[in-house]
Structure 1
Amino acid sequence: MEGNMAAVKRILAEGRADVNCRVKGLMCHWWTGSVTTPFTSPVMEEMWRRLTTSIDNTLHFACNGGDVETVEFVLSLNVVDINSRGVWSWTPVMTAAERGHREVVKLLVSEGADVSLVDVDGDNILHYAFIRGDVATVKFVLSLNVVDIDARNNIGLTAADMARLGGHKEVVKLLEPCFHVM
């Protein structure tokens, strides 16, 4: 916290700190969105460069927190693939969409996030935007005109089906002009 780079490098070199710690380590700050100025210091940058995980990575956690500046910082390190897969094969943009963080979704898309990917359940970014029921995020994802609104996941549900199940009537209304009555 004091910005002592020499001490950080010494502690990391001696193996006395686990930067991948999930409970009390750095990842918790990303998850809760509690990252503040000290966490974007050169010391934190050094620690994030060493951080590796086989599950959700720093970008997933930053997207979950929803702070655009934090996501920009993680992207600036160039150590995480923007389309990396985390738990259940979620991508960072799926995480941001599921949490209703439209500005983070927009940033990731502008940086090249692939919105056509699906997770292990066959859900795409539109499914996640509809799960949250955040109208602004759904409108943005729909405006991309990339994701098939009729795409079904592995159990046969469309994004609209998921919104209906979640009681998100305003989001379902967005698709009404898309349905054709026979």
Structure 2
Amino acid sequence: MPLVQVTTQESHLHATPSQADYDLFYASRDGDLEEVKWLLTTTGVNVNCREGFRSLSPVMAAADRGHRDVVKLLVKEGADVSLVDEDGYNILHFACIGGDVETVKFVLSLNVVDINSRGGGSRTPVMRAAWSGRRDVVELLVKAGADVSLVDVLGYNTLHWACLGGNVETVEFVLSLNVVDIDARTNSADTAAVMARGWGHQRVVQLLSTEST
């Protein structure tokens, strides 16, 4: 199946949700599978409703919290996984932040969202996973074709984001790929080590120091 362009569906971003829509959104966010089932079968709920200042859909909210069963149910019931929020993030970005590997696998299996799609600030899903310290998700994405050499609007690459997150195992994995220059600089001329030090991630600083010698 060819990838499709993700869309905000502007006409629905600011539509006023019904009470049932609100209930669906929060049940999805909280992972209440039985409540989601009930709402989908007994109310006139909009499975692609939007809630909050970022206009997340229920399936985005479920993915963000790693509620795999809810994500699968919503997709089965017609959730549009090509949608993006007001910042441009799609369901894959949210699944990567949520960190549930099986949810990410499921989203990838739909073949709808580009694995290197750009969200807010031109950030890719693998950048979001690295920042969140989701080492297993980063590895999965790389095996599936994620490009860790890409940079966002600030000049941050996946290594920079991993160092900001401070998860040593994630940083080690990104370094092991031998794709990103350990001394690569952002638009403000910061290296990964400078960023890790600035956020107090001393173990990451030590790792980078060892790797650069």
How would you bin the TM-score normalised by the shorter chain? Answer: 0.7 to 0.9
- Mapped pair 1:161 → 2:190: no
The change in CA–CA distance for 1:45 and 1:108 in structure 2 (over 3 A counts) is farther
Aligned with 1:126 (options 136, 151, 159): 159
- Secondary structure in 2 aligned to 1:142? helix
Deviations for 1:23-45, whole angstroms, at most 9, x for unmatched residues? 37312122222x1424313x524
| Matching residue of 1:171 | 204
Unaligned 5+ residue runs, structure 2?
1-35
- The 2-side partners of 1:50 and 1:171 are apart by 35
TM-score, normalising length from structure 2?
0.73
Task: For residue 104 of structure 1, report the CA deviation from its aligned partner.
Answer: 0.3
| Matching residue of 1:61 | 94
Kindly provide the amino acid, as one letter, of the partner of residue 192 in structure 2: A
Unaligned 5+ residue runs, structure 1?
none
- Asked if the contact 2:47/2:77 (under 8 Å) is kept, the reply is no
- The 2-side partners of 1:67 and 1:179 are apart by 32
| Matching residue of 1:152 | 185
Q: CA RMSD in A?
A: 2.5
Aligned with 1:25 (options 46, 53, 57): 57
Kindly provide the amino acid, as one letter, of the partner of residue 17 in structure 1: N
- Asked if the contact 2:48/2:80 (under 8 Å) is kept, the reply is no
- Asked if the contact 1:20/1:52 (under 8 Å) is kept, the reply is no
Runs of 4+ in 1 over 6 A off after TM superposition: none
The change in CA–CA distance for 1:61 and 1:22 in structure 2 (over 3 A counts) is farther
- Mapped pair 1:39 → 2:71: yes
Task: For residue 175 of structure 1, report the CA deviation from its aligned partner.
Answer: 1.9
| Matching residue of 2:25 | none
Deviations for 1:82-101, whole angstroms, at most 9, x for unmatched residues? 00000111100000000000
